[in-house]
Amino acid sequence: EPEVTQTPSHQVTQMGQEVILRCVPISNHLYFYWYRQILGQKVEFLVSFYNNEISEKSEIFDDQFSVERPDGSNFTLKIRSTKLEDSAMYFCASGTGWYTFGSGTRLTVV
Amino acid sequence: AQKVTQAQTEISVVEKEDVTLDCVYETRDTTYYLFWYKQPPSGELVFLIRRNSFDEQNEISGRYSWNFQKSTSSFNFTITASQVVDSAVYFCALRAYGGATNKLIFGTGTLLAVQP
């Protein structure tokens, strides 16, 4: 069964550093998403991406976040200057009608 | 505004007991989708079920069953004869049908601990 692949599974970064989280969506999907889950809390929508542009974003998705589909297969989330409160599990998802979630990247900012 | 409430933060049961996880939602949309996801300790989100608002039939899948009641805006999830492997956080989620948004709104989750 097709999967959404996220790399790395765990990333540790220093506060203030830039980090890029990578995702390979399912190949024929048209919509791509990033969600965030702070430890012990609910899963929260960050951004959706369709037709090479952001279709919707949440209040969390401020100027320090950006998304890109640099080629035909990858979908990335960049955090420009990480803060301690960015520590969370980040889930990528893709879907045309329904979502398939990746297994997540646990980001730890120290 | 859309909202999902899972009032039970933690439930602990002994193996083989039945357990029901509650989910209450709010939406102004007349058509929408409801979901349940399982998040085991390893952290991934495992899709369990999707239900659309115009199909109120209850569903059973093995030991799992779902009770959708539009009149009370509830979409409850029952595990029959629980097993230790059912221990996880369970999330209920809501999504609009069509329109400009297709984001999922998650509840805060219910941590289910099944003791041997």
Digit-coded pLDDT (tens) for A26-84: 988 889 999 999 999 999 999 999 988 999 999 999 999 999 998 878 999 999 999 99
pLDDT for position B102: 82
Could you tell me which chain B residue has the CA closest to the CA of A101? B45
For residue B101, the chain A residues in CB contact (below 8 A) are: 48, 56
Supply the pLDDT for residue B47.
92
d(CA B54, CA B71): 12
What is the torsion angle, in degrees rounded to the nearest 10, for the CA atoms of residue A58, residue B110, residue B56 and residue B74?
A: -80
Cβ neighbours of B42 in A, within 8 Å:
103
pLDDT over 90 for what percent of chain B?
A: 79
Hey, which bits of chain B come out as E strands? 3-5, 10-14, 19-21, 24-26, 32-39, 46-52, 59-61, 64-69, 74-79, 88-96, 104-106, 110-115
Over 80: is that where the pLDDT of A96 sits?
A: no
Mean pLDDT of A10-27: 96
Mean pLDDT of all residues in B83-93: 97
Contact between B57 and B66 under an 8 Å Cβ cutoff? The reply is: no
Of A45, A91, A98, the CB nearest to B45: A91
A43 has a chain B CB within 8 A of its CB: yes
CA dist., res. B102 & res. B109, Å (int): 20
At residue B110, the pLDDT reads 98
B13-46 per-position pLDDT tens digit? 999 999 999 999 999 988 899 999 999 999 999 9
C-alpha to C-alpha distances, B114 to A61, A90, B10, B108, nearest whole angstrom: 37, 27, 11, 19
pLDDT, average across residues B89-104: 85
Spell out which residues of chain A touch residue B108, defining contact as CB-CB under 8 Å. 41-42
Predicted pLDDT at B100: 66
